[in-house]
Chains A and B, each alone.
Chain A
Amino acid sequence: MTRRTAHALGDRALPRWTHPVAWWVWALGLATAASRTTSPLVLALVIAVAGWVVSRRKPDAPWSRSYAVFLRLGVVVIAIRVGFTVVLGTGVGEHVLVTLPEVPLPDWMAGVSLGGPVTAEEVLLAAYQGLVLATMLACIGAANSLASPARLLASVPAALYEVGVAVVVAMTFAPQLVGDVDRVRTARRLRGRPDRGARAFLGSVMPVLEGALERAVDLAAAMDSRGYGRTGPVSRGVRRAGSGLLLLGVVGVCLGVYALLDGGTPGAVGLPLLALGAVAGVAGLRLAGRRAVRTRYRPDPWALPEWLVALSGVVPAVTLVVVSVLDPASLVGATAPLAWPGLPVVPAAAVAVAALAGVVAPRPPGITVVRAADPHPASRPEPQEVAA
């Protein structure tokens, strides 16, 4: 693909994968925005925007169904949050919805009350707080649907490549493990042993693990034969400096992100930490990457659509962070006194910008998903002729 065609936008572009990192930046931007507000209308808008983009740009692949899964997870989170409030709530507020029978608790649990009056204010507050989490989950789900996990791992820097491979291998092992469990259960049935229940489960653990281990050894041999782990000549000092910087970077980024999302810490602490961590991390990756001789096959280009997708996620994040500092009241979903939630104009407009991703990103290529016709494929790992 030439640079020019890579820059084409939206439906005018040839179908291709959008860089997975762009989708993750976009989704994390939206999640950051969501973390800064309890305004239900803004949060609903975030979910709606994410869902719209997913519906327009999700590829037809097994992993692209995770948006719905994460939405359901979000509903569960809200239900749990509200449930806890109903049972353990303190009954603050004027509008009592229902009064539950109160359970007397021992003295050492002072401050906790089980049952009692349930007010509309606290239920609403709990629902809003649950909605924040649900919205962030929806954003993660959107990123999972839009960007193939394998392609994301393929774009990790060379220094982290080994870790990436481990994750990919683990992902391909999971379905095979399920196949193994099936096989062992079948064998138990054929031997006339119980194939259901706890005893059957315990009896099948060992053979399944044995099979997995055998496959792991086979795979390691195959990877070794295919050049996995070839390294270039690099001095020990460079290698150590690389690892050190990398570690520093990871710690910095983690603390920075936490400080930003937490909201309680002023932005003046979070941003510099994040920036510092990022710089150290990039330098570390560069140094450590010198050791690897690997190249990338058909890397996803980072062109205009990627810039716009990432940017359309960063805009709501930055806007909401700024608004939360300048005018925090506008972002709070009103619970006391009870009132219809308003729609703050600037944050809503910023969130709407994220919908741009659904327009500018190229369509994903059609990939063929064919279910294996034979659930018990003919080829199975065979024990080696000579036990090593």
Chain B
Amino acid sequence: MPMKITQEIKDNTIIMTLDGELDASSSVILDEELSDPEIMKYSKILVDCQKLNYISSAGLGVFISHLQRFEDAQIKLIFFNMQDKVRNVFEILGLDLLMTIVSDYEEARTIANE
């Protein structure tokens, strides 16, 4: 099934919804979205992972490659609503210590506004 990425903008926050499987081919689309210079105008990016069923190493690679850039620009990248098996992939790789992964939208908003 193809990956569907939707964006919703609220004030200075982008809420990005990932729907489907993030594999080698769909990670190219994600990379394009995250590389968009427009995105640097916002200070918070919240990624809704509720419908993200699978993430491959290529998908992880895309997030990793943008991680440093967002950090330098002081943009907060927060994942929420992550399924357990996807969260497990993040954890095994050690990314849970580098990235902010929270349980739901409310928590994500709270952390984002800190």
A in complex with B? no
